[in-house]
Amino acid sequence: MKRLLALLATCTMLLGLTVLVSPPAAAATGCKVDYTITNQWSGGFQAGVKVTNLGDPVSGWTLKWTWPDGGQKVTQGWNATWSQSGSTVSATNVDWNRTLATGGAADLGFAGTFTGANPKPSVFTLNGVACTGSVGGEEPPPDPGTGTPVGINGQLKVCGVYLCNQYNRPVQLRGMSTHGIQWFSRCYNNASLDALAKDWKSDLFRIAMYVQESGYETDPAGFTSRVNSLVDMAEARGMYALIDFHTLTPGDPNYNLERAKTFFASVAARNADKKNVIYEIANEPNGVSWAGIKSYAEQVIPVIRAADPDAVIIVGTRGWSSLGVSDGSNETEVINNPVNASNIMYAFHFYAASHKDTYRAAVSRAATKLPLFVTEFGTVTYTGGGAVDRASSTAWLDLLDQLKIGYTNWTYSDADEGSAAFKPGTCNGTDYSSSGVLTESGALLKSRISTPDAFPTS
């Protein structure tokens, strides 16, 4: 994607720094640290820290460094337990990366704030021993079979009726959606995102930012910042982030046209150099014609393209994103009058206990003419409640797999409703994967999402 000009000069100076100093007299082990600023904005930045163990195997470790001017502060980190005292930072292993074999590495990351010049650390220690070594030769290229979804697929694009990866091959992304981040913010943290990426093996994370319902309109700056933070957390774990402008009531997206332009101008500029961002510009248009939705899309899409010309954009459809079926229409209104823009897809939503054969038939027909993405679906009724309809849910998921249509499930939350993946109270703890915390819907979706992806690379 096109990098922000304002960040280019700064990032050029800071990217790809390897810290090497003279070895101590008798180091018991050795290590190497690569400290990389991956993004920077006014007063804030994001960094990756890769520590490679060059000595004997280590079981249990803490990496430390001290910033030279004391103006930096870690605000959020991942792949380690982070703490800071004064200008000294400590990153301690978590359970899954506790052991570092000889030559083994751990990739950590954090977001932070800074004042002044944001200089790099000069000395790192691993378990109290200075990191002084170097790795000889070039590292082999990563094995695509063991990479992350973003690492394998890179920048996505629309090709024909498919979502395609950097190799111009069709791919299907499978993942989970947040509930409203104004209500369930506690569910989206390092532990839950680690679980989603590593245990659920999710390809993407949909960030549902309500516009009304105590959402964006009440605090535009705060909600924009929260969305950006969740995008960063998904990126750090190799997942795609689907930014959802969650319009629901009122259903005409034109009511929020100016808010949408403001929001998407901001997030597109800030995230333009990322490969993992997809934009969903109107969640569930309802009570509005397809012509009204198309007009809205053709005004919002250029705002995103001005900052980010490459990202995939998803347009909601009539009748709560049912391609008009819930309004008594069908997919032909979109096929015959498509949005005048490139690299876009169209949203389809369903709730398996309410939407069955008629809706599946519409998707089957539309998929031969339109690039579709199921940005939201549930295993229960359209209310979000009721019993899981396993037969209809399975029929839907089998169809989406067959057609290579990506999807995100509603919801990765502990809401007290049938559509939630977790039992109430789960988000007060740290377990987001075991059978003890999963609802029937959560167990079904985890079993489907965690099966191996078939991402072609040639």
Question: Phi and psi (nearest 5°) for 449?
Answer: -70, -35
Nearest to 249, CA basis, from 308, 304, 180, 202 = 180
Q: b/e per residue, 51-67, with b = 16+ CB within 10 A?
A: bbbbbeebeebebbbeb
DSSP three-state, residue 134: coil
Give the count of beta carbons closer than 10 Å to the beta carbon of residue 313: 23
Angle at alpha carbon of residue 48, lines to 275 and 20, rounded to 5°: 135
Bridge partners of 32, per DSSP, are 52
DSSP count for the chain of H helices, then E strands: 11, 22
Tokens of 129: 């021993």
Tokens of 330: 């069908």
Q: Which of 280, 333, 376, 417 is catalytic?
A: 376
In this structure, the strands spanning 344-351 and 372-378 are parallel
Task: State how far the Cα of 347 lies from the Cα of 106, in Å rounded to an integer.
Answer: 38
CB 416 within 8 A of CB 184: no
DSSP three-state, residue 158: strand
Torsion from C-alpha of 301, 306, 308, 314, nearest 10 degrees: 0
Task: State how far the Cα of 382 lies from the Cα of 391, in Å rounded to an integer.
Answer: 16
- From edge to edge, which strands make up the β-sheet containing 129-130? 81-85, 88-92, 62-66, 124-126, 129-130
Mark whether 440 is an active-site residue.
Answer: no
CB 245 within 8 A of CB 209: yes
Q: Which of 284, 331, 333, 417 is catalytic?
A: 284
DSSP three-state, residue 233: helix
Mark whether 280 is an active-site residue.
Answer: no
**Amino acid, res. 415:** A
Show which residues are catalytic: 284, 376
